Amino acid sequence: MEIFAEHLRKDHLLSKVDARIKLLSALSLLGMVLSYKGFAFPVIITAICVFLCVRMKIPLKIFILRFSEPLFIAAVIVLLKFFISGRDGLIDGILIACRIIGAVSVVAVLGFSTPFTEIMSALSWMRIPKGFIEILMLAYRYVFVLLEDAMVIYNAQKNRLGYCSIKRGLSSFGTLAGSLVLKAFEHSHNITTAMIQRGYDGNIPAMKHKPFKLHDIAFSVILITIIGALWTI
């Protein structure tokens, strides 16, 4: 879970940019990457994003972890298209692979540069329903708690030869997953009690949005104009 952005440095060049600007810019870039019909644009976007990751001093291990799965999928798509449609398929496959890497790079920069709570605040500004954001925040908060519980149960099972054969492994895995659901019920009961004691009436107070700063707006307009110009070429 060290790959989560919360564990990364916060004093980089994108940390001072408003999360709403970063989210909107990322969504615009994703739209451009997906709708572009050639190789050049996604490659340029990837190069810019890799440069930003380097400037943000993202540890190499986390960078590789983040890109390994999409890179494998991109490689498989290229091979798949090649063996189905020959050379035309190969070109098609490389186009899709470029799109994958370009899009993954954009989301990686967004994830690496923006803490989770700021993304939630930006989503609420974008009028994403409050209920959805509340569930998202509760889920994110308790992923770490439940993960710790899961590790304790898993180690206890492993020490008692719970995974020494396929049959026992399956049974242990079912018990582990079931225990997590039980823990979820217990935690939800405890959280509700704690929240009611603090005045919870069914709604979690929403975060307040700061007004936009002029340099944030200027940054986004310049970025989208330059990249939009590249996209039209």
Chain positions 47 to 86 lying near other proteins, rule: CB under 8 A, are 66-70, 72-77, 79-81, 83-86
Q: Which is nearer to other proteins, 14 or 136 (CB)?
A: 136
Question: Among residues 13, 181, 206, 217, which is the contact residue for other proteins, using CB under 8 A?
Answer: 181
Verify binding: residue 126, other proteins, rule CB under 8 A.
no
- With vertex at residue 52, the alpha carbon angle to CA 51 and CA 56, rounded to the nearest 5 degrees, is 120
The stretch near other proteins (CB under 8 A) out of 12-20, 28-36, 47-55, 219-227 is 28-36
> What residues have CB less than 8 Å from 224, skipping those under 6 apart?
25, 28
Verify binding: residue 202, other proteins, rule CB under 8 A.
yes
Q: Is 18 buried (19+), middle (13-18) or exposed (0-12) by CB count in 10 A?
A: buried
* CB 19, min distance to other proteins, A: 12
Verify binding: residue 147, other proteins, rule CB under 8 A.
yes
* CB 104, min distance to other proteins, A: 5
The stretch near other proteins (CB under 8 A) out of 10-18, 53-61, 146-154, 222-230 is 146-154
The stretch near other proteins (CB under 8 A) out of 24-32, 50-58, 206-214, 222-230 is 24-32
Q: Assign residue 8 a region (left: φ > 0; alpha: ψ between -120 and 50; beta: otherwise).
A: beta
8 A C-beta contact, residue 87 and residue 21: no
Verify binding: residue 9, other proteins, rule CB under 8 A.
no
Cα 82 from Cα 90, distance rounded (Å): 4
Verify binding: residue 135, other proteins, rule CB under 8 A.
yes
Cα 43 from Cα 39, distance rounded (Å): 6
CA distances from 141 to 147, 181, 187, 191, 201 (A): 11, 16, 12, 12, 20
